[in-house]
Chains A and B, each alone.
Chain A
Amino acid sequence: SQTIHQWPATLVQPVGSPLSLECTVEGTSNPNLYWYRQAAGRGLQLLFYSVGIGQISSEVPQNLSASRPQDRQFILSSKKLLLSDSGFYLCAWNRVTGWRTDTQYFGPGTRLTVL
């Protein structure tokens, strides 16, 4: 069966510090990978998605970036965090199935607090 991991579970960082969040998927190959952010009391905002190694699409311009160095690894980074980067970050994966987007499976999330 497939599992998705996110690390770390919680993180408290000062403004201006760098960020690296990691997401790994097990039990599948060549998944689509996604990074979402949830601000407090808000819905899901898609940040990045990737259909393959080195292929990253950005949905929202911001000071965050994403990379996919391996097939099942997706990393979210920032060189300098802003207060507005605080939130709950979710990684998700799914399979490519035709013209419609299939079920996305979510990781447990990372709670980021920027002080």
Chain B
Amino acid sequence: AQSVTQPDIHITVSEGASLELRCNYSYGATPYLFWYVQSPGQGLQLLLKYFSGDTLVQGIKGFEAEFKRSQSSFNLRKPSVHWSDAAEYFCAVGARDMRFGAGTRLTVKP
């Protein structure tokens, strides 16, 4: 079965700084890969997904992610963080079923 690791439980960045959230997966083939965002008390919203093709994927809200097969990684990036980006971020792997990482909580300092 596949597994997903988000090594950072909590990250704090200053508003306007760049952001990278890490995600590593384990699976024999190339699964579908997703990033979701969850604001407090709300459901999960899809930011972006990778199915095949171009390994750099653009998403909503200015986010992008890069699939690196050699590193089994799918890291999420944003060049300039806004205060409204403060939320919980989940990486997920879709193979026979969907597995979610434990999440990374992002705090944005003014």
Distance to closest chain B CB from A10 (angstroms): 9
Q: Could you say which residues of chain A place their CB within 8 Å of the CB of B110?
A: none
Report A12-60 residues with CB < 8 Å from chain B CB: 34, 42-44, 46, 49
Report B33-85 residues with CB < 8 Å from chain A CB: 34, 36, 41-46, 49
* B9 to chain A: closest residue by CB: A41
Complex interface bits, A78-115 against B, C-beta within 8 A gives 1, otherwise 0: 00000000001010101000011111111111010000
Distance to closest chain B CB from A66 (angstroms): 16
Complex interface bits, B68-110 against A, C-beta within 8 A gives 1, otherwise 0: 0000000000000000000000101011111011110000000
> Among B32, B46, B49, B101, which residue has its beta carbon within 8 angstroms of that of A43?
B101
Contact B32 A111 (CB under 8 A): no
Q: Could you say which residues of chain A place their CB within 8 Å of the CB of B102?
A: 42-43
Contact B42 A100 (CB under 8 A): no
Q: Which residues of A contact B (CB under 8 A)?
A: 34, 42-44, 46, 49, 88, 90, 92, 94, 99-109, 111
Q: Which residues of B contact A (CB under 8 A)?
A: 31-32, 34, 36, 41-46, 49, 90, 92, 94-98, 100-103
